[in-house]
Amino acid sequence: MAAATPSHAISHHSPVTSLSKSPKLPSRFILPISSNPQNPTLRHRPSISPNPLKPTLRHPLHVTNVLSTPNPATPTTDAADTTFISRYTPDQPRKGSDVLVEALEREGVTDVFAYPGGASMEIHQALTRSATIRNVLPRHEQGGVFAAEGYARASGRPGVCIATSGPGATNLVSGLADAMLDSIPIVAITGQVPRRMIGTDAFQETPIVEVTRSITKHNYLVLDVEDIPRIVREAFFLASSGRPGPVLIDIPKDIQQQLVVPKWDQPMRLPGYLARLPKPPQEAHLDQIVRLISEAKMPVLYVGGGCLNSSEELRRFVELTGIPVASTLMGLGSYPCSDKLSLQMLGMHGTVYANYAVDRSDLLLAFGVRFDDRVTGKLEAFASRAKIVHIDIDSAEIGKNKQPHVSVCADVKLALQGLNEILEGKRADLKFDFSVWREELNEQKEKYPLSFKTFGDAIPPQYAIQVLDELTDGDAIITTGVGQHQMWAAQFYKYNRPRQWCTSGGLGAMGFGLPAAIGAAVAKPDAVVVDIDGDGSFIMNVQELATIRVENLPIKVMLLNNQHLGMVVQWEDRFYKANRAHTFLGNPAEETQIFPNMLKFAEACGIPAARVTTKGDVRAAIQTMLDTPGPYLLDVIVPHQEHVLPMIPSGGAFQDVITEGDGRSTY
């Protein structure tokens, strides 16, 4: 194994040992961070620590921007693929951009979402020389990063997006923040101005490493062309291991142009990170969890996005225990929503019976979740009667919002495998009987089902989603924007497998649905992909219709068009006496007309489209959408008075749940 050489990549939260061999950085580029770690204004979010004895916090107090240390090489099992056949001879010099593209090929990348610019032209030229990587050209860098997220969410593999320096790089910010909050593995690559110009306020220069430091799991500024193979390997490893997240690689243009003979056998140098990866769960802890289950009368599973890779193990666990399952927005599909033990979604707009179950439970099994405020509401009242077991891969999440009685910091998949082995080994001795508890919850299901009202010929948005669920047999991949349509899609489409549901959860980024559908369609070309969108979200990235047409992606857009920012309108109705504060998205001069005409956007991009305005025509219109080859847009006109129910007001408890009313009433 080759000995490690000093790195010339800026890589955050690594200690400085020697800077003598590295190009000196102009101080203008370095974020002015105080040396006082107690300063509360300098809170950033690194995830890799060089010190294996200090716990890595998700919200630590201090981070410094320094050059990565020449630590001893870290042996890993993830060795370079010796079977890869390069188009270059081993000793043939090639540009740094070609090294980058080959490094992506060696990671198994077949699709990228890249928008060119001056500082990334070399990368795009290199992409044209690749026989294996296809570039799906977005029409906006935000569309590219959201598409990379859709790719990752639908496939489980890291998505890759590429942008130029300056505004191109800053247009990735929302997507990186979204991926960070939802733990989505993406690798974002940005061009940067040449090294000699960094810090000079050059044309299209932004210090994107500094801008994105707190919203990436890790990031790099490459200052030595020889580091590219190692950095790319590290980036993919970091993005997909432990708690997944986004990694950014910033590459100056002169590095892209420099000739080099790459060394593909460089080991990764992540000793601090590797030392901190969670260990397998201890059997004693798992035995303790099994004992708590055997003592419980009213247990509930609370499962989140951390369970998406352990759906099979979760189903087996439920089969062995008979415990009902409530899912977070991010966890939908990890356990089949149509199963009799599913309580569907809990939280602010979760089902009454899911929130009832958590409120009444004496044991809450929280697997792969982070006790988000949209789930818990008032923390003191959430599961106040229950003993709490929290299993999560990220130690910083355990006890952050809600203190558990038993905690296990481990991969949920390994923990569930261990629990299932114990349960199977003790089946003769363990006799779980939660039938009385399940019957109590079934009564709640019958008493408070998800429902909606119909007013004349108007189309209830919930009904349109229900019909889509029926006509696709619940088998489509669904993407959404953010707002009322997102919540209705979570409630009324039944997700029976993981990675069917792609939505912006933690960040709540409008404009997510259409580009995410592009990524999902590229990752799963044989799947039916439907973007259930709202008119407000849809128009934020409407330009991506051009990408869909050019790539001929068979994406169906079902637009629930109420001419308003629906969720904000709902809050105006409930809490602001229905005073409209800039939430009408139509043309005030012609309020009775649909504006803008979404069908014209589709027509401009050569995409078939139709509008439906009455409930009786919905089923046939959706069937036509699904039967039409290639992309299609269906504009479903719905009333703006509809409210997403149930609803627990922000900061409220289960006792505050709202189950009746809409914008036709006064509050």
Q: How many residues does the chain have?
A: 667
Cis peptide upstream of residue 404 (ω within 30 degrees of 0): no
Q: Measured between alpha carbons, how far is 137 from 144 in angstroms, rounded to an integer?
A: 8
Nearest residue to 431 via CA among 576, 516, 307, 322: 322
Find the catalytic residue in 141, 149, 205, 313.
141
Find the catalytic residue in 21, 54, 203, 279.
203
Domains and CATH numbers, the chain: 94-274 (3.40.50.970), 283-447 (3.40.50.1220), 461-644 (3.40.50.970)
Distances (CA, A) of 251 to 122, 235, 452: 11, 13, 52
Find the catalytic residue in 113, 205, 210, 253.
253
Is residue 29 part of the annotated active site? The answer reads no
Residue 303: both structure tokens together: 């499962």
What DSSP letter does each residue of 244-307 carry, written as one string? --EEEEEEEHHHHH-EE---TTPPP--HHHHHHSPPPPPHHHHHHHHHHHHH-SSEEEEE-GGG
Q: Measured between alpha carbons, how far is 121 from 100 in angstroms, rounded to an integer?
A: 13
What confidence score (pLDDT) does residue 9 get? Answer: 53
Is residue 203 part of the annotated active site? The answer reads yes
What confidence score (pLDDT) does residue 48 get? Answer: 40
Q: Are 550 and 137 in contact, with CB atoms under 8 Å apart?
A: yes
Find the catalytic residue in 125, 204, 257, 288.
204
Q: Measured between alpha carbons, how far is 502 from 329 in angstroms, rounded to an integer?
A: 10
What DSSP letter does each residue of 101-117 carry, written as one string? HHHHHHTT--EEEE---
- Cα angle 359, 362, 366; round to 5: 75
Positions of the chain with pLDDT lower than 70, given as ranges: 1-82
Is residue 204 part of the annotated active site? The answer reads yes
What confidence score (pLDDT) does residue 32 get? Answer: 33
The whole-angstrom distance between residue 565's C-alpha and the CA centroid of its chain comes to 23
What confidence score (pLDDT) does residue 233 get? Answer: 98
